[in-house]
Chain A
């Protein structure tokens, strides 16, 4: 039983992640008056990719071959360390502990683990020696470096409001936060959401569905991947999106997340999380349908806005 719950915690994010992508695609299709593929299409894509042969560039080194495994691993580990539907989970010994695969789900560790994945993604983009990959890496690292400020500070606001650095504890203690203290969190949420869009290569920073060399960032780095490694990369980026949604939904809108491992609490938190996630997915799909991608040198303005907003939120929360 314990082992099962343990596996459940480990697998929740990777199993649900492709569904997010599917839902976004369907929502976008509907907004464009198309029917769109089924929400389960990303699963079929993964299945297909895992069953294909693979072509690897002769210029690629072991970094290119190794990165997909590492990036996917990092996403699984982070996914198991953030609360999705509950902040407490049974440990292997049976006692209830904060939901975290690691003994801590410290927010700084989580941010820097994402950065580790980005680092290897950018290296494998450069590894094949094509112009696309190199420029994709350059742009990705530029965006990642600038998005880090907003991401870090928005989570720091939550951490200071909750007097804890561990994400599960933050979620628990923010559930009882008084309304006037909640306002700066809303400001921080805007900052977080901008960072979410940038980190997940979404509009208006990047276009996830293009292979046009002038505009792509994330896809440019994946251009040389095929077969199982491409599947792992796609799966990892879907997981990253779900983790960000879980962080955003549970930290900034913490109500209803189960703080005990009882059937009643879970019965409330599961549908509530699905609803929150749907709202996030709808927002992303909506943004992608109604606005154009920014010119690349306009993006920093947006990311600095995110940073400034989170600093303002921080200033409010430490003054009052």
Chain B
């Protein structure tokens, strides 16, 4: 225990990932088994490191004692300061939980890459990615933070383009690379502004900063933080990279990116708004609420229009980040109104949904990965009937679908319920605008729930139910036990974290209460202080009672019906076919399933449909030979936002290019003018 709460444990985690990454590279170089050993080494060490990190995080949370230490840096301005407090331990725990499960999954998922791609390279970037994710939560110095943030982006970029024989992955990776760096620049700007005000890059100095900050500077800091971290979180309209990059990566990396990487942005939002510079104006809370409402509603609408299973899941990440932002925004509003208790519960709602989304989204991505491995395609229209061929994957995916659609007693419901409660408090507040924003947020959350359910009836129904729609689906086989057991762990957690929601909520309130205290070594984790709060919640949100009542009544109903109809026969027959043989073409498709909802929301989605018909006789045009229908959803963000920016950038560059005359004398003139300019500026 003493070891767990000491810097040595953190250093051991770093060492494990380092050995894992470098060792994998080394092994793939010198062994001739198509990278099998390198893959096992990389995933194995990542699993060990993650399990250790999970233990450390739980120890910190449980014993209420943070870990703070500093290593001498390479440069004097960049010491490696570590700080693992309650909030950081929570996020570290979430990351470590998901990464240990995905590493287990990787043991058998890696066989997709034997001989085709180097598993040494994969192992290296995989370990680097997880390690930098974990360090992001612990870095306590702005430049150190930027270093690990950047290595997180770069490592995940290389994982996105890992399957580089597919052209679309390279394109997705490039877009991700661009957007990640746009985000990094914004974050750096926010940090430098904070440095200008506080005179330090040390996060602790920012926390202790007591001077006044010009409103303009504060607005700019929050704005750049919002842009920078919002890009990583995938808030609409900064989300365009997310549905491209997440599906392109290998499935267990998609699970990590969607499940935990985007949450690091949430972590930094909490740091900025509540820890570093508390006292943000209420408007920032309202901005977060509006962004959250838009992201959740639009995210689920775009997900409905997808029929690529992994892209569909990626859009649901946009939706869920929106839900988390609702809790966060409500927290900022209440904090500015000095309603600390409500702020505490709103933030607990945001953290709870962060944890839940990490679990069920990782579960769904791992399930999707199993389906992709078994069928070799991501296209939903080629699936069908997999529940018979892959019963366990189907069952786990169903549990994940129930959790993400927020059905009680699963965990997704518990956190959405808590978010609803936070928003309900908001509509009783004083100002009319605040009320209106909160009503908008509640409305979008209510519709999001229904639309997400529709989307997952489609995702589960088209993929697993009815008859196979293609030869690939007919030949699918259940995946190996490491993949099944990792999904099984997550599926169990979706249920447990729902049933025991009151315990989880009161612990999370403890985590939230621990931020804002300046002395990291006396962090409070008042599990017991919130017993009263827990009892109140237990009275209202009783998912444990619900679960056991449902189970008891279900047992009674099944038993009763079985007994009452024990002498009746059950005959297995054909589905009613109206006299036509049933083929895959008589089943509903993913496109047509969501067609009616897309038509209803055509004002937002603006679907287009092109039909190309080939006739048997071009002159007569009565008998159709074949018909091809292409549907498309309008993408306003690229058209209205990114293309104009792109055009403007090209225009400016083409104008600036003219100063490159190619004449050396002109260049010397430029240097001369610059020098004079600088002299004037410094003497001024």
Give A residues with C-beta under 8 Å from B. Answer: 10, 50-59, 61-63, 69-70, 72-74, 76-77, 101-104, 106, 108-109, 112-113, 115-116, 118-119, 122-123, 126-135, 137-139, 141-142, 144-149, 152-153, 156, 159-160, 165-166, 223-224, 227-228, 232, 296-297, 300, 307, 311, 314-315, 318-319
Contacts and interface: CB of A to CB of B under 8 A. Distances in A.
Contacts of A113: 407-408
A73 B550 contact: yes
Contacts of B549: 77, 101-102
Given A53-B569, A126-B588, A315 B443 contact: no
Nearest to B300: A145
A314 B467 CA distance: 46
B588 A153 contact: no
B588 A131 contact: yes
12 contacts: A55-B571, A55-B573, A73-B550, A74-B550, A76-B553, A119-B457, A127-B465, A141-B597, A142-B596, A142-B600, A145-B454, A227-B568
Main secondary structure of the interface of A (DSSP, over half): helix
Contacts of B216: none
Interface string B558-600: 1001001100111111111100001000111000111111011
Contact of B554 (A54, A69, A102, A300): A69
Interface residues of B, number: 77
Contact of A130 (B539, B577, B594): B577
A115 B447 CA distance: 12
Given A115-B407, A119-B457, A144-B453, A56 B573 contact: yes
Nearest to B469: A129
Contacts of B439: 311, 314-315
A106 B454 contact: no
Contact of B408 (A109, A127, A315): A109
Contacts of B432: 319
A52 B568 contact: yes
B437 to A, nearest CB: 13
Contacts of B587: 129-131, 134
B49 interface: no
Interface of B: 384-385, 387-388, 398, 402, 405-408, 413, 417, 420-421, 424, 427-428, 432, 435, 439, 442-443, 446-447, 449-451, 453-454, 456-458, 460-462, 464-467, 538-542, 545-546, 549-550, 553-554, 557-558, 561, 564-565, 568-577, 582, 586-588, 592-597, 599-600
Contacts of B408: 109, 112-113, 116
A128 to B, nearest CB: 5
Nearest to A129: B466
A73 B557 CA distance: 7
Given A129-B385, A138-B592, A145-B453, 7 more contacts: A59-B467, A113-B407, A137-B457, A138-B588, A138-B596, A228-B565, A318-B435
A60 B582 CA distance: 14
A315 B435 CA distance: 9
B569 A69 contact: no
A116 B446 CA distance: 15
A104 B557 CA distance: 22
B296 to A, nearest CB: 14
B454 A141 contact: yes
A96 to B, nearest CB: 16
Contacts of B554: 69-70, 73
A112 B575 contact: no
Contacts of B421: 165
Nearest to A115: B453
B461 A123 contact: yes
A84 B426 CA distance: 31
Contacts, number: 235
Nearest to A52: B568
B582 A160 contact: no
Contacts of A58: 572-575
Nearest to B432: A319
B575 A149 contact: no
Query: What are the 4 closest A-B residue pairs judged by CB atoms, nearest first?
Result: A134-B588, A129-B466, A145-B450, A148-B450
B407 A119 contact: yes
Contacts of A159: 424
B576 A130 contact: yes
A314 B428 CA distance: 11
Contacts of A315: 439
Contact of A51 (B568, B571, B596): B568
A57 B568 contact: no
B558 A145 contact: no
Contact of B569 (A54, A104, A153): A54
Nearest to A229: B561
A9 to B, nearest CB: 12
A18 B88 CA distance: 56
B573 A104 contact: no
Given A108-B417, A112-B413, A57 B541 contact: no
Contacts of A148: 446-447, 449-450
Contacts of B576: 130, 132, 223-224
A109 B541 CA distance: 8
**B402, B565, B569, B599: most-surrounded residue (chain A CB, <10 A):** B565
Nearest to B586: A131
B631 to A, nearest CB: 15
B466 A127 contact: yes
B542 A103 contact: yes
B557 A224 contact: no
A266 to B, nearest CB: 25
A141 B453 contact: yes
Nearest to B565: A228
Contacts of B427: 160, 314, 318
A122 to B, nearest CB: 5
A297 B600 contact: yes
B575 A128 contact: yes
Contacts of A106: 417, 540-541
Contacts of A224: 575-576
A144 B595 CA distance: 15
A135 to B, nearest CB: 6
Contacts of B572: 55-58
Contacts of B573: 55-58
A207 B450 CA distance: 22
A53 B571 contact: yes
Nearest to B304: A145
Nearest to B405: A119
Nearest to B388: A61
A138 to B, nearest CB: 5
Contacts of A146: 447, 450, 600
B450 A50 contact: no
Nearest to B564: A50
A89 to B, nearest CB: 15
A77 B546 CA distance: 9
Contact of A116 (B402, B569, B593, B596): B402
Contact of B465 (A129, A142, A160): A129
Nearest to B584: A129
**A74, A127, A134, A135: most-surrounded residue (chain B CB, <10 A):** A134
Contacts of A160: 424, 427-428
Contact of A59 (B466, B538, B557): B466
A146 B572 CA distance: 36
A130 B596 contact: no
Contacts of A129: 384-385, 465-467, 575, 582, 586-587
Contacts of B417: 106, 108-109
A129 B581 CA distance: 12
A136 to B, nearest CB: 9
A296 B387 contact: no
B454 A112 contact: no
A141 B564 contact: no
Contacts of A62: 387
A50 B387 CA distance: 28
